[in-house]
Amino acid sequence: MSGINDALRAAADQFGTPLYVYNSATITGQYEKLVKAFSGHKTRFFYACKALSNVSILRHIHSLGSGLDCVSINEVRLGLHAGFAPGDILFTPNSVTFEELIEAKDLGVNLNIDNISLLERFGATFGGSYPVCVRLNPHIEAGGNYKIQTGHIDSKFGISIHQLRHLERVVKGTGLHVKGLHMHTGSEIKDVGVFMRALEILFDAAGRFPELDFLDLGSGFKVPYKPGDAETDVDALGVQVAAAFKTFEKEYGRPLECWFEPGKYLVSESGYLLVNVAVVKQTTATVFAGVNSGFNHLIRPMFYDSYHHISNLTNPKGTGRLYTVVGNICETDTFAWDRLLPDIRENDLLAFHNAGAYGFEMSSSFNSRTRPAEVLLEGGQLRLIRRRQTFEDLLAGQVDAEVVVQA
C-alpha cells in the first residue's frame, strides 16, 4: 500500500483537501476480473454510472470495452458525450415522464421500461418499431441494508412477476417488440444463489417472449469494506451462469446474451476521500477527531450506516487510540464511532477508503460548503478531473427576485 499512500499524500499536497482521488488501475482490474469470470458465456457489462459519473471516469471505462447503464436522461447525455455509442447505453429509469422515454428513444439508446402504463403507452405510440427491455420485480429480498434492496414486494422498481399475464396482454395488444428482460434485486449480495434464483425467474418469464436477445441480471456484486470482509464470488457465479444459460438456450431455441450492470463493483475500491483533521476534541465520554469535511461530501455512513476504513496517512504507525471521526456540518455527521486509529493530531491527513461509489456522486453544498475536487491517478500521474467548487459556483444560477406588480 505504500505506493498508493505516497500518491495520496502527493495529491493532497498538490490539490488540497477535502479531495477525491480515484485509481484507474483498480477500475481496470475489477473490469478484467468480471470479463474473465463470465468468459464461459457471451456476456456484456454496462457500467452503472450513477455510482460515479465524472466524464473522465466514463471515458476510462469506455476504453475498457464496457457499455453504460443510465438512470436519467442527463446520464444518457453524459455517456454520449464521453464517447459511448447509443447501442452501448441502457436507459433504466423509474417514475419518469413519457417525454423522457421519448427523448431517450430519439437518442437511439436501449430502453428498459419498468411499469405497465408506460409500456402500454409506448406500444400504442410506436408498436414494435422500437424494441424495448422490460424490468421485472422478482420479489426477492437480497443484499444488505433494506434501503438498497430493490427486488422486494414493496419496492417501487419493476413490474411484478405476478403481473406477467397483464404484461403479455399489453405486448400482444400493442405489438411491442420485447428484446430483453431485466431484474435487479439489490446491492451487497454475497450469496451467488440469489443471482441464480433470479435467473430462474427470468428463464421462466422468457418463455413468454419469443424474440428476446438478452437477459439482464442487474448487479449487486459485493466488494469488501474491511480486511477479511466477504465479497461476491464472481468466478463461481460465472461458471453457474454459463451452465444455466447453455441448458436454457436448448429449450428456448436460440442463444441469448447475459447482461450485468456493475457500478460500485467497478469504482468503489478505486476511490479515496482525503481530509485533514481540524480539531481533536476530548469530552467526558469521547475523543472526537473533527475533519474538514462532512456528510455533504460522503453521506453513505449516515445514510446507509456504511463502513469505510480510515487510514492516518500522516502517522500510520502511531499508537492506536479510540476516536469518533466527525465532520464540520451543523448536523450529526459521524463517519465512524469508537474507531481504533493510529494516534491522530490536528492537521493529520486521513483517507476514507472505498469512496469511489456514491461518494462525490451524492455530495452536496449543504451549509453552503463547497464540493471537493476530483483527481484521477493514471499511469503514475495525478490528473485533475474536476476543479474544487468555489463560492462563486454557489451563486451561479441564482437570480435576484423580480418584483411582480399586480394590476
**So which residues are the catalytic ones?**
330
The reply to whether 304 sits in an annotated binding site is: yes
Instruction: Say if residues 237 and 34 touch (Cβ distance below 8 Å).
Output: no
At residue 6, φ and ψ (nearest 5 deg) are -60, -40
Collapsing DSSP to helix, strand or coil, 15 comes out as helix
- Mapped to the 3 state alphabet, what secondary structure does 125-185 carry? HHCCCCCEEEEEECCCCCCCCHHHECCCCCCCCCEEHHHHHHHHHHHHHHCCCEEEEECCC
The reply to whether 121 sits in an annotated binding site is: no
Pairing between strand 373-378 and 67-70?
Answer: unpaired
From residue 291, alpha-carbon distances to 18, 277, 303 in Å are 9, 4, 19
The reply to whether 358 sits in an annotated binding site is: yes
The single-letter code of the amino acid at 23 is: N
Cell 425467474, residue? 201
The reply to whether 141 sits in an annotated binding site is: no
Comparing CA positions, the residue from 68, 47, 58, 50 lying closest to residue 22 is: 58
Binding residue ranges for pyridoxal 5'-phosphate: 220, 358
Return binding residues.
220, 300, 304, 331, 358
